[in-house]
Amino acid sequence: MAIYRADPDLHFLSLVDNTDLDLLVSLLIRDPQDGNARVAETLTSTDEYKQHAPDHQRYWPSVAAELQTFGANSLVSLFRGGQGVPYREVLCDACDKMKVNYNKNATTENIELNMLLKVLENSLAKMSEQDLRELAKEMQVEISNPTPQLMLMAVQTAIRSSGFAAYRMTTMLVSILAKSLLGRALPFGAYVMLTRSISLLTGPVGWVLSSAWLAADIAGPAYRVTIPACMLVAWMRQKTQCQSH
């Protein structure tokens, strides 16, 4: 059984509602490709899960512990008394796998955003001019003749100046992740600020996300959990921060 390692980067999960936590729980306990239970998961065998699921907030430390132990697995580390590794270590390992350019001294939130910007950057390179115009409109970026480089710079600038821009970007990308990987939609309220996310699911952003899972699978099954899990955590963090303001 996984034992939660006190982790300041995951403590905010105590504020996340059950609908959002259920996306993370589903990813941790089942392989979305065949729906079967993950061989390495231990969450469903805990008393907390048996007693309280799907009221995940009642046992969020157990959910966090499961993610920490999957991270230890991806790092080829041995568990120490049932504990995994801190979330930040899981995140940086996932970023290294995805070849994300990030500062190891940056905040955890900024490293998460760098991961998502990497996915966006890869997607922009595959978009047509019309795709770029639609995405600019979606992201509320004012560029008359958008190019991949200009779009990325504009999104980066918007994120630096507005926390809501960061939430908008993470919601767009994670809505695609949830649909393409888990076959699930984000809670309806998440789409209030998004008008085209559903049509983007089958476009270039969706292709890049799918290729990320395939590439991660080559290195080992743990990355198929930790990479999307970090993106889900990044989205929940942005949502929680926006709700607190």
Parse the chain into domains and list their residue ranges.
Answer: 11-244
- What span, in angstroms and rounded, lies between the C-alpha atoms of 32 and 35? 5
pTM here is 0.87
The pLDDT profile of the chain, 245 residues, written as one tens digit per residue, is: 678 999 999 999 999 999 999 999 999 999 877 778 888 888 999 999 999 999 999 999 999 999 999 877 766 555 556 688 999 999 999 999 889 999 999 999 999 999 999 888 888 887 788 878 877 877 777 888 889 899 889 888 888 887 788 888 888 888 877 877 777 777 655 655 555 544 555 566 666 656 655 555 545 677 888 989 999 999 999 999 988 76
Q: Which of 19, 7, 9 is nearest to 237 (CA)?
A: 9
- What per-residue confidence (pLDDT) applies to 125? 81
Q: Which helix (H) or strand (E) holds 112?
A: helix 108-124
- What per-residue confidence (pLDDT) applies to 220? 65
- What span, in angstroms and rounded, lies between the C-alpha atoms of 238 and 90? 18
Token pair of 144 as six digits: 């008359």
Q: Which of 126, 5, 7, 117 is nearest to 69 (CA)?
A: 5
- What per-residue confidence (pLDDT) applies to 87? 97
- What per-residue confidence (pLDDT) applies to 67? 94
Token pair of 21 as six digits: 């936590």
- What per-residue confidence (pLDDT) applies to 71? 79
**Residue in the structure block whose two tokens are 């926006």:** 242
∠ CA 160-207-163, nearest 5°, is 15
- What span, in angstroms and rounded, lies between the C-alpha atoms of 62 and 4? 6
